[in-house]
Structures are given as C-alpha cells and as structure tokens.
Structure 1
Amino acid sequence: MELHQLIEKIKTEQNCEVFPALENIDLPSRTPDDLRQFYRLCNGIQLFKDSDYAIEIVGVDLFIPINRYLYPLESIDWNVDTGEVSNHWYLIAKDTMQSQYISLDLTLERYGQCYDSFIETHSLMGDSPIIARNFTELLQQIYTGKGQYWYWLQDDFKSLGDAYDPPIL
C-alpha cells in the first residue's frame, strides 16, 4: 500500500488521530524519501490512543536525535562525531507511558532502518533489534496491529537482525 493511501486509511480509524501537515518543515538532509513524504502529508499520527499499545509517530518537531531526546541533560556536543552510531538514530515513534521508543537510522550504511529503542535497552549491542527496513514498513506494521501487542515483540516476528550487525547494503 502506498504511504498516502495508508495515511488516508488511518484517518478513518476512530481510535487514531492524524495531525495536519505544517507548511514549512526542516528535516535533516539525509531524511529518507518516504519519511519526507509522510511529513508533507501530516505532522505525526497518534495510533490507537485508547489501547494498551498506543503509539505516536512523532511530529517533525520531535524528529531529533533520539539520544538527545532520551538523555537531555547529558553534556554532549552533538556537532562532534564520536563514532557512536546511535548518535545518528532519530526518534520516530514513542509511547512514554511504557518507555517504548522507536528510532530511525540516518547513517548511510543502515539508511532508514527502524530500531526498538526501549528505554532500558536503547543502543545496547545485541539488544537493539531492527524492527522495520524503512519508515513505511514500520507504519504499515503498527497499523496492521490495531493497537494490540507490538508486532516486533510477538513470538512469530521474524528477526531482521540487530542495529549493530554488519550492514546489508
């Protein structure tokens, strides 16, 4: 399903809210095309807000490095490349009630991959599973789950590897 069709379908759900697009958006230069299209169509989505597994696709204002979001008091110079790959992961979805976050990778080697960034295991090697190959796949999978237990935590989820595995180009 095309991204614009998926968003239109989500708009018909009573338990979801699609936020109106902003006129001017400022995204990092390496933002994947599907995510750029998403932000041209809307400024985030609250998915299944009354369910136990509600999750929000963040608006453009929160599409920031996830480490900056999770650890705002850390004294890090974000303009210096320390070599830590998670510094290039951006917050794309969150459920703060359950400390569940999802990050999107902007490195060239893993461009657009999405990771489970649960607060207790965020950026830990071997504990940062790839949960989608790109943003559209992530949104489609979350929508298909209809607010039930998150798809990447279900027993039948086929592993896509870990964020720290050698990249598949």
Structure 2
Amino acid sequence: MTQSIVVQVGQCGNQIGCRFWDLALREHSSINKQGVYDEAMSSFFRNVDTRYENHSDIPCGNAKGKIRSLKARAVLVDMEEGVVSQMVKGPLRGIFDHQQLITDVSGSGNNWAVGHMMYGPKYREQISETVRKAAEACDCLQCFFVMHSMGGGQ
C-alpha cells in the first residue's frame, strides 16, 4: 500500500491539518471497529511500538497487527508556535511525533517577506531533513500533501 506525507505550513496550514487529522481518525474508527492496523491506515499513519525508546514500526498483517500507537505521517512547520502547541496539547496530541514539529517563537507577523527572507534560509535544512526522514519511514511513498495559505495572513 502507498503512503502519503502531509506537510502543514503556517497557521492556516496547521489549522486545516488539525481538521484533516481529526476527520481521518473518525473515518478510520468508524470503518475499523476491531482496532487492527491495516493497509488503509498505513496511508496516513505509522503504527509504532511505544514500549521502546526508539519507536519501531509495527508492520501490517502480522500477529502484532493491533494498534500500539498511531503517529501521523506529518511534518508541522510554523514560525509562531501557538497553533502547533495547541495541537500538541489538544485531543490529537498523541498522533504527532515531536521530532516532526518545527517551530519558532516570534513568527513573521503576517509578512510573507519576513518568512521568506529570514526564516526560509534559517530553517531550510531542518525542514528538508525532517521531510526526508518522514519519507524514509515509508515503504512506498506516493505523494506529499502541502497545506498552507496562499496569501500570507489577514
């Protein structure tokens, strides 16, 4: 089965992403009543064994097919940490891997140029590395979903 990675950028992208993950979990739970990690779930989620410090993936279709802990195949990027920290503290907090969150504290204040000229060069390598690691965790990467605003605020 193919996997997709969701890249959420900025306040708008992370708010849309929050709704997306909530809907995805509701849809899977209404269809998959036994709580078995199957190929459909692997499209957007990793099934990890949280009993170990290094979260190892649990493959589909074996005796350990039960869900240990779902982790979203997502990279969250925002230079103002407010929306991302709300997601991490909210009802979806367990599905996000903290190693795939990239935030700063000051933000670009709805100014596209500040984000592009100041934060772009500063975080380019970290974002690329985080997306690369998420892609390497996939068996058959199909696509990336990028969620962001088109206008840069207000």
Higher helix share: 2
**TM-score, structure 1 normalization:** 0.26
Q: Which has the higher contact order (CA 8 A, sep 6+)?
A: 2
**TM-score, structure 2 normalization:** 0.28
